[in-house]
Structure 1
Amino acid sequence: MESNVRQSPRATVSLVSESAAVTPGQQVRIGLRQRLAPHWHTYWKNPGDAGSPPNIEFTLPEGVTVSDIAWPGPDRFLIGPVASYGYEDEIVFPMTLTVPQTAQPGTRLRIEAYADWVVCEKECIPEDGKFRLDLPVEANARAADESILAAFKTADVRQPQTAPWKALLTTDGESRLKLLVEGEGISAQTVQSALYFPETWGVLDHVADQTLQVEEGRLTLSLVKGQSFSSEPSSGLLAVTDGGGEKRWFALEVQPASGSAIGTSGMANTLALWQMALFALIGGLILNLMPCVFPVLAIKATAVASMSGSDHREVRLSGVFYTLGVLAAFMALALALLAVRAGGMAVGWGFQFQSPLFVAAMCWLMLAIGLNLSGVFEVGSSLAGAGQSLADRKGHAGSFFTGLLAVVVATPCTAPFMGAAIGSALAAPAFYSLVVFAMMGIGLALPFLLLGIFPAIAQRLPRPGAWMVRLRQAMAFPMYATAAWLVWVLTQQAGESGLRMVLAGAVLVGLVAWLAGLSQHGVKRVWVPRGLALLGLAGLIGLAAALHYTGPSEVTARQQTSPNAEPYSAERLAALRAEGKPVFVNMTAAWCITCLVNERTTLSTTAVQQAMQEHDVVYMKGDWTNRDPAITTFLQSFQRDGLPFYAFYPAGKEPVVLPPVLTQAIVTDTFRQ
């Protein structure tokens, strides 16, 4: 049985079942079926250097369960300097569906699914579709038609077998590895060629040759280390072609070999940890100066003003609680990134700003903070209270949440030194990632923490007075400006529908803030404004739920590009390099203020545009406003997970990475050199 079909010039995709009718308690295979146009391919769970594996989400009747994908063995596709793992022609991604014993014959099981996938030839194109299968429940099962059964058989031929061999992975110098596979049945007659597919991205250099040596009972593959190689155990598939040309895939549990090579690698990793931590600390410090942190600086200025006149102990505690807030936010981000990485999704620094729901929530929060600073309603201690002690619980809670907010708003920017540290941390073991993120938090919090440790600095602040009220009110305007910017970001992501919802939410935020202020100023029948405020909050929750299901806007779908820039694609980049063309790649996003500043002050200027023409530089631009696996893969190839990012590919030479803050001189000198 086959569902409705999602068809494009590149792929015909549907949801299929091996059975045309099922019985109560039966286990039946279903699968996402992809029939691809000639020369197009789709991806395995580790896509290699480009692409993204298919993802499928089910809506199932009560009692029905579906297993994970039983991934067929992939092939390797080499396109210039890029290698991908996946499938051509036709493939089914099989899953096992279990029918509940309570299913009644004569009824139907409605299986609904939403899937997204990427298909590539010279360019990579994301596609998606919604599918529905209505499986009849009958007393006797019935098989599907022959074409569907044949499609499942194609996937079955590729299903990996459990390898009856022992596999070890050893280091062979600084940049190379050796995969040793030993056991019965290995010989020059049974192994004509072999290729190793690691399940984890970045273990190997995917495009590098895998040199094979075969002895009786043993084969050795010489490999090149990838960017995220570690000495931890890994797993993967070994594709073996025998003397008759038959290809089979074997699942390997690859263990690291003990010995000095691994020990040396561990020592190198320890040194790398200290380097990553140092860069993270410096990056966190510099993050205080980045353009997108301006609203946070406004919050800090208000907090510093409120410390004026406080005793030394309270000043220190304020700095400590602010630092704890920063560290808590960084640890939460690190754990979230590690959890998503463990689930196989490619993510990067600032990834939360790729969610329209998150952007809208931050917009409403910035607006609420601005209304609070303007005096519409009160939260915690009033800054106008001259000489008010910070020793109460509310004061320290305010410092803590100021630190949390500082990290949340600051993440769209990646300071110098931070990009390499984040990329390395996310590719390293979890402990390394936590250490690096903690050091970034310390770097961001350090100026405010030093203010608390050395109270003599705080003593030089002006004395409390009416100026504090005016400062508080003035600090509301950076909040309003940030909210306005976030509205623009959401428009790029979700179009006019998203704009309508975020503006409606802004009106509700203003209403709730005003009603909260009324209830705080002693109005009669205080339950009336409080009840209306709760209704406003319920409306906000409804708008947030609607935003969660809002798709990308047409603006984002077209990939906003400058008139003189072409959209980024890995295949196009490879083709240009093969032609000997110099290429400048700009990775940007609507939520990255530093990116926008660089484009306005540098990349769009006459001097830089003329330099591109003089040196025949092709300008490519990638838009990461919404999640784009191809851009994520590109960034990870440089061990980066954040924006802005700029790379220049001279003709016939290795790429040059430019700093995140650009000047006209930096760019033009790079082209000239």
Structure 2
Amino acid sequence: MPGSFPTAAWSSWRTLIAALLLVLTPMLAVAAESNVQQSPRATVSLVSEYAAVSPGQQLRIGLRQRLAPHWHTYWKNPGDAGSPPSITFKAPDGITVGEIAWPGPDRFIIGPVASYGYENEIVFPMALTVPKDARPGSQLVLEADADWVVCEKECIPEDGKFRLALPVEADARPARTEILAAFKNADARQPQPSPWRASVSADESTLQLAVEGEGIAPASVQSALYFPDSWGVVDHVADQVLTVEEGRLTLATTKGQGYTPGPSAGLLAITDGGGQKRWFALELTPAVTTAATTGAPATLPLWQMALFAFLGGLILNLMPCVFPVLAIKATAVAGMSGGDRREVRLSGLFYTLGVLAAFMALALALLAVRAGGSAVGWGFQFQSPLFVAAMSWLMLAIGLNLSGVFEVGGALAGAGQGLAERKGHAGSFFTGLLAVVVATPCTAPFMGAAIGSALVAPAYVSLVVFAMMGLGLALPFLLLGIFPAVARRLPRPGAWMVTLRQAMAFPMYATAAWLLWVLAQQAGEAGLRMALAGLVLVGLVAWLVGLGQHGTRKRWWPRGAAVAGVAGIAGLMVMLHGAEPQAATAPAPSTQAEPYSAERLAALRAEGKPVFVNMTAAWCITCLVNERTTLSTSAVQEAMREHEVVYMKGDWTKRDPAITAFLQSFQRDGLPFYAFYPAGKEAVLLPPVLTQAIVTESFKQ
């Protein structure tokens, strides 16, 4: 036909076009994948969900591994052998690559060892955001160094350098189907948040995981496997015996040598009745703590918690932490001598109300912080440099009041209530408040178990326990009010009370100095400078207030200057609140101590070594007394050497989540805390007040 295209020529053109498409298609799609690192065992590259990206876009990239048959790579906890993949990036300014979102693993058992990881193909996805100012027509270039281990019967480390260039265009273009399918397979393994409550308990050899909630039933769980986030929590190769009943699933297995009590995390892989496998992220709380091995139950009944709290509060009156408040108490008791019976009783009642109000405020604060997801403990406020500085200024102000520099009557913790002409009981109330605030750095015997149990119990139980603790602390002063005849046997008021009052100022000054030392451990030289400046301003304000109070003529300028001084103190508080904290260092006894870490403790126990753990803080007076009078003595040091005891020390001067978790694993929330791990055995808890005999006898186990 005239003008028609020859059939033979058209066939040639079609062949040429097809060949060009075969060549150009990979070139158009190659932007979604980097260069490939290939070995007989694995083909590895850096891939992107998109072949072209747009400004401000959020996407994922991933390290893609295609493994030869029977070879596998590793999860973040590799199990008995292997190592997880690691990758570091060189990215343009303004680009940050997120952490690996680890897909759920499988378990591979080869002879006597087990590993956690993946076979066939896996993508380790990471989030990436394209800068908003990226220009269309440019390229987003990522360079990465990665290393990984692949195993069959032998394990071989591999590594590679990758360069991924992503064109920036006005509209993003997805990667080719093969890469998208690889991301989809990894997404199918991504752990889901667990809808159930999960806890873990352990004895000398067995670990049990318990999961409870709706949707758990024998028909819906064909098999299950627990993958702990941390190495050595379980014996990786041991069987995990599954028991399923309506609303509850348990897995019992052999405890690993790296297990430490306390909150932990991991994955639960469940295969349902239809054969589908899903992974669930678990946040595990201890179901039974090692307190069981010391004869104490994991949780206490309410009456026992209340009794322990009452006894602990009563004994708290004798603890070194409360000694600074004895000065205030002594002045107040002296003022009760010869007083009206009704006034004496009301004084004791108001003091008790102050103590109870302070304990209720502490309980509510602890519960509120816990509800917000933070872990804190008894005495947590002394972990704040701002609070410590404010307390040192308050102690100085009280001391100056007792010394007669100025008069406030009952407004400053009741320091001068016995000498004030007014009959109000605000001083008694604030004396009770201050007694609790100063007492909280330490715990007395019985208090630890009560506080620990109360803070994992319902809120009303916590409030009851803290109220009983306050009643125990207030009881001696309350009894003086109920039986005023005891107070009337004291010497009659007179000039001697002025001398007593002035003498009682010096424990306040000593407490202010000690708090400055604590602050220096927390906030370093800069924090100490601000606190010292605050002390000068407190002294100036006190002097100006006293100057305005004395004399026959009305003086307004001292009051104005005092207001300016108070403003300066407020400014220092703001600066302290924003100051960068420094590493805190509580004083160490002469015995050399290793810093506490859960990993090191687990390793020492696995080696069969006895370990003594001392949890302390610079603000815990009882801790410091124990270290000076017991732990640093030659008898205890010699006993440690004789029995080859490893001494570990944790410093809780500032908040430390690892130490908080360790304390909570024993249902404890305060200091002092001492645990001794005999070789091959669980922990034995020592009392908060130590003697040389108590420590050396424990080592003989």
Q: CA deviation at 1:195?
A: 3.7
The answer to whether 1:409 aligns with 2:432 is no
What amino acid does structure 2 have at the position aligned with 1:349? Answer: W
Once the two structures are superposed, residues 516-558 of structure 1 have per-residue CA deviations (whole angstroms, 9 ceiling, x without a partner) of 11111247563321221111111111111111122333553x9
How is 1:161-172 mapped onto 2 (pairs within 5 angstroms)? 161=192
Once the two structures are superposed, residues 444-496 of structure 1 have per-residue CA deviations (whole angstroms, 9 ceiling, x without a partner) of 00100111011111111211101111111111000000000000000011111
Match of 1:279 in 2: 308
Match among 590, 594, 600 for residue 618 of structure 2? 590
Match among 249, 258, 266 for residue 279 of structure 2? 249
| Partner SS for 2:250 | strand
Contact 2:402 2:415 in 1 (8 A): no
The answer to whether 1:643 aligns with 2:671 is yes
Match of 1:379 in 2: 408
Cα distance in 2, alignment partners of residues 150 and 535 from structure 1: 69
Contact 1:319 1:448 in 2 (8 A): yes
Match of 1:580 in 2: 608
Q: CA deviation at 1:619?
A: 0.7
Q: CA deviation at 1:316?
A: 0.8
**Cα pair distance change 1:221/1:288, threshold 3 Å:** same
Cα distance in 1, alignment partners of residues 589 and 474 from structure 2: 36
Q: CA deviation at 1:221?
A: 2.4
Match among 529, 544, 553 for residue 558 of structure 2? 529
Q: CA deviation at 1:330?
A: 0.5
Q: CA deviation at 1:239?
A: 3.5
Cα distance in 2, alignment partners of residues 463 and 577 from structure 1: 62
What amino acid does structure 2 have at the position aligned with 1:475? Answer: M
Contact 2:243 2:251 in 1 (8 A): no
Cα distance in 1, alignment partners of residues 483 and 104 from structure 2: 60
How is 1:1-80 mapped onto 2 (pairs within 5 angstroms)? 21-22=55-56
Match of 1:332 in 2: 361
Match of 2:510 in 1: 481
Match among 312, 331, 348 for residue 341 of structure 2? 312
What amino acid does structure 1 have at the position aligned with 2:571? Answer: G
Once the two structures are superposed, residues 583-626 of structure 1 have per-residue CA deviations (whole angstroms, 9 ceiling, x without a partner) of 11111110001111111111111111111111111111111111
Match of 1:13 in 2: none
Contact 1:186 1:216 in 2 (8 A): no
Cα distance in 1, alignment partners of residues 545 and 437 from structure 2: 25
Match among 297, 317, 329 for residue 288 of structure 1? 317
Q: CA deviation at 1:274?
A: 0.7
Q: Which consecutive unaligned segments of at least 5 residues does structure 1 have? A: 1-17, 32-37, 43-68, 78-88, 97-102, 107-137, 199-205, 230-234, 255-267
Once the two structures are superposed, residues 80-134 of structure 1 have per-residue CA deviations (whole angstroms, 9 ceiling, x without a partner) of xxxxxxxxx99999899xxxxxx9999xxxxxxxxxxxxxxxxxxxxxxxxxxxx
Q: Which consecutive unaligned segments of at least 5 residues does structure 2 have? A: 1-49, 62-72, 78-98, 108-121, 136-167, 202-207, 254-259, 285-296
Match of 1:436 in 2: 465
Cα distance in 2, alignment partners of residues 40 and 548 from structure 1: 41
Cα distance in 2, alignment partners of residues 656 and 40 from structure 1: 35
The answer to whether 1:608 aligns with 2:636 is yes
Contact 2:480 2:486 in 1 (8 A): yes
Match among 536, 541, 544 for residue 512 of structure 1? 541
Contact 1:20 1:144 in 2 (8 A): no
Higher radius of gyration, 1 or 2: 2
**Cα pair distance change 1:643/1:162, threshold 3 Å:** closer
What amino acid does structure 2 have at the position aligned with 1:609? Answer: Q
What amino acid does structure 1 have at the position aligned with 2:439? Answer: A
| Partner SS for 1:329 | helix
Once the two structures are superposed, residues 231-255 of structure 1 have per-residue CA deviations (whole angstroms, 9 ceiling, x without a partner) of xxxx99853257999863358999x
Q: CA deviation at 1:654?
A: 2.1
**Cα pair distance change 1:595/1:161, threshold 3 Å:** closer
What amino acid does structure 2 have at the position aligned with 1:653? Answer: K
Match of 1:495 in 2: 524
Match among 631, 653, 659 for residue 625 of structure 1? 653
Match among 466, 480, 484 for residue 451 of structure 1? 480
Match of 2:64 in 1: none
What amino acid does structure 2 have at the position aligned with 1:597? Answer: V
Contact 2:584 2:654 in 1 (8 A): no
Once the two structures are superposed, residues 158-179 of structure 1 have per-residue CA deviations (whole angstroms, 9 ceiling, x without a partner) of 655588x99999x9xxx99574
How is 1:343-382 mapped onto 2 (pairs within 5 angstroms)? 343-380=372-409
Match of 1:467 in 2: 496
Match among 192, 217, 220 for residue 186 of structure 1? 220
Cα distance in 2, alignment partners of residues 218 and 523 from structure 1: 80
Cα distance in 1, alignment partners of residues 444 and 106 from structure 2: 36
Contact 2:314 2:473 in 1 (8 A): yes
TM-score normalized with structure 1 length = 0.68
Match of 1:301 in 2: 330
Q: CA deviation at 1:306?
A: 1.4
Cα distance in 2, alignment partners of residues 313 and 503 from structure 1: 43
Match of 2:85 in 1: none
Once the two structures are superposed, residues 281-314 of structure 1 have per-residue CA deviations (whole angstroms, 9 ceiling, x without a partner) of 0000000000111111111111111112211111
**Cα pair distance change 1:510/1:166, threshold 3 Å:** closer
Cα distance in 1, alignment partners of residues 629 and 75 from structure 2: 40
The answer to whether 1:240 aligns with 2:270 is yes
**Cα pair distance change 1:185/1:222, threshold 3 Å:** closer
What amino acid does structure 2 have at the position aligned with 1:667? Answer: V
Contact 1:280 1:421 in 2 (8 A): yes
| Partner SS for 1:240 | strand
Contact 2:123 2:183 in 1 (8 A): no
What amino acid does structure 2 have at the position aligned with 1:249? Answer: W
What amino acid does structure 2 have at the position aligned with 1:650? Answer: P
Q: CA deviation at 1:41?
A: 6.6
Cα distance in 2, alignment partners of residues 525 and 92 from structure 1: 75
**Cα pair distance change 1:243/1:440, threshold 3 Å:** same
Q: CA deviation at 1:343?
A: 1.4
Cα distance in 2, alignment partners of residues 143 and 468 from structure 1: 87
Cα distance in 1, alignment partners of residues 418 and 598 from structure 2: 60
The answer to whether 1:634 aligns with 2:692 is no
**Cα pair distance change 1:168/1:156, threshold 3 Å:** closer
Match among 562, 582, 594 for residue 566 of structure 1? 594
**Aligned sequence identity (%):** 68
Q: CA RMSD in A?
A: 5.1
Match of 1:322 in 2: 351
Cα distance in 2, alignment partners of residues 271 and 555 from structure 1: 34
TM-score normalized with structure 2 length = 0.66
Higher deviation after alignment, 268-277 or 634-643 = 268-277
Once the two structures are superposed, residues 184-235 of structure 1 have per-residue CA deviations (whole angstroms, 9 ceiling, x without a partner) of 98363xx4x244999xxxxxxx8699955488999842479x9999xxxxx9
